[in-house]
Structure 1
Amino acid sequence: MTQPVRLWGARFRTPPSAALMRLSRSPETYFRLVPEDLQSSIAHARELVRAGILTQDEGARISEALTAIGEDFAQGKISPSSTDEDVHTFLERVLVERLGPLGGKLRAGRSRNDQAANDLKLHLRRAAKRIAADLLSLQDALIAQASEHQNTLAPGFTHLQPAQPVTFAHQLLAHAQGFSRDIERLQDWERRSSRSPLGAAALAGSAIAVHPELSAQELGYDTACENSIDAVGSRDHVAEFLFVSAMIGVNLSRLAEEVFLWSSRQFRWVVLDDSYATGSSIMPQKKNADIAELTRGRAARLIGGLSAMMTALKGLPFAYNRDLSEDKWAAFEAIDTLEVVLPAMSGMIATMRVDVSRLKAQATEGFTLATEVADWLARNGVPFSEAHEITGALVRYCEEKGVELSDLTPADLSAVDPRLGEEMLGCLTPEAAVAARKGYGGTAPVRVAEQISRLKETVLRQRDWANV
């Protein structure tokens, strides 16, 4: 029969109440830290050998047992019991069951405080690269669609009103640029989370594990934390991870919002693949962009997790407090959310079909070429303040006549203002409008092609960092 193990309790006269244990026990999802706790324990065993607490043979036996425990856990042969308070209690119980008193030696020189901080940091460092890999798959989908639509004309919007013609590729790449920065944030975060808390023990450091920098290197960190109190009492690396996750969620939500519009009956710019859409239980004709809706909703969870973590941190005194256990709830929620949302969004973007002719037809609706008139006047010596007024009068003239700018004749132009020359009509095409925006970062197809090329290079570098 499994015997419960408590890592504390000898000074207490009565056992913990059932109510306390229900509150104190880690949720099942927290036991996903088993691999990280075992890896940390193997590194700690080596530190205890260096300290003379374990012999070389004892250290080897403990490391072999920990490795076997990890394999058994992964295969479902062992699992936490209801009496295991947390991942540390669970693994020490199993280790002692297998090695007897030798298993109990491993606890020397460490605390659950530095173990907990270290386990989650290791887990997040791995999750950051998985999330980056999923983001890169979304980048691939956006780049592939953009490559097909470098010359596809589309209406650009401000305030959700038609503004100027753009290429559809340029609109897609606007989202890709945001996701590229999200990956850069994960890279920056990894650099700032490169110090190990292991060896800080409860708060003052360890009198036994005196070479935490060596354990840090074994665990893939750059070195150990500079300050032991900071090591166990700070979770800004978790808060920052949650901020990056929330920012990814916000960027995903913005893309999702546009997918709603693009695929709506009113826009009809894109058609979603049947495998990435759903229907209605009562309206047989419906085809819903549920992936986009669910993504927009899940962004709220990511923002909420960041808010919860920041609130938990804001009033904590000194070193470790149990409030910090909220870090795992928020972090795991963020990881789980992104690892579900990102592949679905990638598939939806990769498989959507673009209606090129409809986009082109809408590219000039709503007088989106008006800026071309004002720019032409400015290039011909008219102060832009006057050019703006003349163009506004020309748009009003079109509205009264019920025509578009491209329908105007030389007679119409002179009726509005004699400075509107006939040659200006050559600027009133969406092709001319996008070609004119040829500055760095503009929507001209030649610039879009360069943007795609640079983004592909960035994706290659980021893929190398994420090891995918």
Structure 2
Amino acid sequence: MSEESGDGDVVRRERFGGGPARGFLSSMSSDERIFEADLATDRAHVVMLTEQGIVPEDEAGGILAALDEVEAAGHDALPNGEDVHAAIETAVIDAIGPVGGKMHTARSRNDEVATCIRYRLREDVLDVVEAALAFREALVETAGEHTETLMPGYTHLQPAQPTTVAHWLCSYEGAVARDTERLLDAYGRINRCPLGAAAFAGTPFDIDRERTAELLGFESVIENSMDASSTRDFLLETVSALATLATTLSGTAEDLILFANKGYVELSDDYASTSSIMPQKKNPDTLELVRATAGDASSGLSGLLTTLKGLPRAYNRDLQRATPHAWKTIDAVREATDVAAGAVATADWDEGALKEAADEGFSTATGVADALAMGGLPFRTAHELVAHASESGSDYTALDAASEEVLGEPLEEHVPREVVESALDPAESVASRDSWGGPAPEAVEETLSAAREAVDADKAAIEGRTEALDGAATALDEEVRSYE
């Protein structure tokens, strides 16, 4: 992928053609991912060169026909080379002779590879966003079935307050929605074309950078030629967003693993496995791997940051090692997102066990303190009273006794008994928490309605971007066919 090293291919001929480092320099294997992107970039560049009068039309037709042959033969048929770019150029020259070398006029492999990475990365990011949208749909659909299904809520993994399965699911939908937003934001900065920057100092040829950007479906051009060829900040932004999504997935998986351990939820057999020795086991193995994906993603981000840290402008061969961090992270996170969506969509929640657990550990204590505060007591006094009661029990009798000790009078002097009894009930406690974003069924329904609208909007955004890329690919193909 460098403009400053090589072997005996068409770029280097016999200069620096061998030696023990030859294989070490090669990126041919990992470059298979950008094979199609390189062909598209070559075609767009040749069309532009011809339109600008830099390459004659008949010669362009020969180059474009040779590129078709290269595509039909596939990546595995390429001649040996230090990277896919040199190998494709070698194949073209082998097919039509020295005139094939005109394909590389007014560009460098530095701006070429930067373009190919962005071209392929757009598709990958849209794939991950589609997976995230499917996960959000699974969360929303499952939540819609459980707006009144009580469950225990935890802080510090200790029983805290009762909530609902729907409220818990919506908490993750909101997080994945932000993860989606970050990826779509990153897409906008990926979708800028560096082609035409050459090695880093531009070119004396009268090229049209906006035309190649248009042919390749990019929304704009990266203006500064040094920045265009050398920057990989778009990889950092993308991998960071993926690592954040992976962290969200890891939290979801961890919760489900804990809930399965407590008997609150049972995973579908499709998302579980058994033991090789213990026949009774049903293990949440897929979710454990989803949880571990956060490690893959964070290591990808760390590797990318470390590779890029302190690199001087403009191109350095270190960049060859940077891109694989992004590809590996994308693949791992996309797969984990698909699995998480399937696990949520097919899980079976034990409503009886959840309801029973929702009442454990005096989980309604905060609700009682709130009721006392709404009755006129200072909240800190109410907090003290309920804390005192919790030492001996979690019913009205314990609360009334605590009132006598803390306030010196019966509880009913401040709050009617029926209000306190209602606050002690987990279902009533949840129903009372109807503030915006709270767990009360009507509040959750509003959250779900907004979530469905957001999913639809993001779907439309994806469709628009996909249609734009497809339209550009079709237009480029039509231009290429006009040279036949």
The verdict on a shared fold, with TM-score over 0.5 as the criterion, is yes
Q: State the match for 1:134 in structure 2.
A: 131
Mapped pair 1:285 → 2:267: no
Given the alignment, which residue of 213, 216, 219 partners 1:219? 216
Gaps of 5+ in 1: 399-403
Mapped pair 1:177 → 2:187: no
Mapped partners of 2:182, 2:53: distance in 1: 42
Deviation digits for residues 304-329 of structure 1 (CA, Å, limit 9, x no counterpart): 11111111111111201011112221
Mapped partners of 1:23, 1:4: distance in 2: 14
Q: State the match for 1:5 in structure 2.
A: 9
Q: State the match for 1:295 in structure 2.
A: 290
Residue 131 of structure 1, CA deviation: 0.4
Change (3 A) 1:125 1:410: closer
State the SS of the aligned residue for 1:397. Answer: coil
Q: State the match for 1:85 in structure 2.
A: 82
Question: Where in structure 2 are the equivalents of 1:380-459 lying within 5 Å?
Answer: 380-398=375-393, 404-405=394-395, 408=397, 412=401, 415-416=404-405, 417=407, 418=409, 420-421=411-412, 422-423=417-418, 424-459=420-455
Give the letter aligned to residue 411 of structure 2: L
Q: State the match for 1:35 in structure 2.
A: 36
Mapped pair 1:357 → 2:352: yes
Q: State the match for 1:306 in structure 2.
A: 301
Q: State the match for 1:24 in structure 2.
A: 25
Residue 412 of structure 1, CA deviation: 4.6
State the SS of the aligned residue for 1:156. Answer: strand
State the SS of the aligned residue for 1:279. Answer: coil
Change (3 A) 1:237 1:137: same
Give the letter aligned to residue 5 of structure 1: D
Give the letter aligned to residue 250 of structure 1: T
Give the letter aligned to residue 55 of structure 1: P
Q: Is the 8 A contact 1:280 1:287 kept in 2?
A: yes
Residue 387 of structure 1, CA deviation: 1.0
- Over aligned residues, Cα RMSD in angstroms? 1.9
Give the letter aligned to residue 365 of structure 2: A
Mapped partners of 1:410, 1:235: distance in 2: 62
State the SS of the aligned residue for 2:280. Answer: coil
Mapped partners of 2:341, 2:375: distance in 1: 47
Mapped partners of 1:408, 1:133: distance in 2: 54
Q: Is the 8 A contact 1:38 1:70 kept in 2?
A: yes
Mapped partners of 1:343, 1:51: distance in 2: 46
Residue 145 of structure 1, CA deviation: 1.0
Residue 54 of structure 1, CA deviation: 1.4
Paired residue total: 451
Give the letter aligned to residue 461 of structure 1: A
Gaps of 5+ in 2: 1-6, 467-484
Q: State the match for 2:476 in structure 1.
A: none
Q: State the match for 1:401 in structure 2.
A: none
Residue 16 of structure 1, CA deviation: 2.8
Mapped partners of 1:450, 1:107: distance in 2: 57
Mapped partners of 2:162, 2:316: distance in 1: 56
Residue 80 of structure 1, CA deviation: 3.5
Q: State the match for 1:320 in structure 2.
A: 315
Mapped partners of 1:64, 1:395: distance in 2: 82
State the SS of the aligned residue for 2:392. Answer: helix
Give the letter aligned to residue 43 of structure 1: A
Mapped pair 1:202 → 2:206: no
Change (3 A) 1:90 1:113: same
Mapped partners of 2:388, 2:245: distance in 1: 43
Q: Is the 8 A contact 2:118 2:190 kept in 1?
A: yes
Give the letter aligned to residue 321 of structure 2: E
Give the letter aligned to residue 459 of structure 1: V
Given the alignment, which residue of 255, 262, 268 partners 1:273? 268
Mapped partners of 2:72, 2:174: distance in 1: 41
Residue 91 of structure 1, CA deviation: 1.0
Given the alignment, which residue of 66, 79, 97 partners 1:100? 97
Mapped partners of 2:293, 2:184: distance in 1: 23
Mapped partners of 2:247, 2:194: distance in 1: 31
Q: Is the 8 A contact 1:130 1:466 kept in 2?
A: no
Mapped partners of 1:311, 1:166: distance in 2: 43
Q: State the match for 1:58 in structure 2.
A: 59
State the SS of the aligned residue for 1:281. Answer: coil
Residue 192 of structure 1, CA deviation: 1.8
Mapped partners of 2:52, 2:88: distance in 1: 22
Mapped partners of 1:397, 1:451: distance in 2: 38
TM norm structure 2: 0.89
Residue 210 of structure 1, CA deviation: 2.3
Mapped partners of 2:111, 2:61: distance in 1: 23
Give the letter aligned to residue 451 of structure 1: T
Q: Is the 8 A contact 1:291 1:344 kept in 2?
A: yes
Mapped partners of 1:166, 1:408: distance in 2: 25
Give the letter aligned to residue 152 of structure 1: T
Give the letter aligned to residue 23 of structure 2: R
Tell me which moved more, 186-195 or 55-64.
55-64
Change (3 A) 1:205 1:430: same
Given the alignment, which residue of 366, 369, 382 partners 2:364? 369
Change (3 A) 1:411 1:329: closer
Mapped partners of 1:295, 1:287: distance in 2: 17
Mapped partners of 1:411, 1:198: distance in 2: 77
Mapped partners of 1:55, 1:100: distance in 2: 15
Q: State the match for 2:481 in structure 1.
A: none
Change (3 A) 1:115 1:420: same
State the SS of the aligned residue for 2:107. Answer: coil
Deviation digits for residues 113-136 of structure 1 (CA, Å, limit 9, x no counterpart): 001111111111111100011111
Given the alignment, which residue of 9, 15, 27 partners 2:17? 15
Q: Is the 8 A contact 1:436 1:444 kept in 2?
A: yes
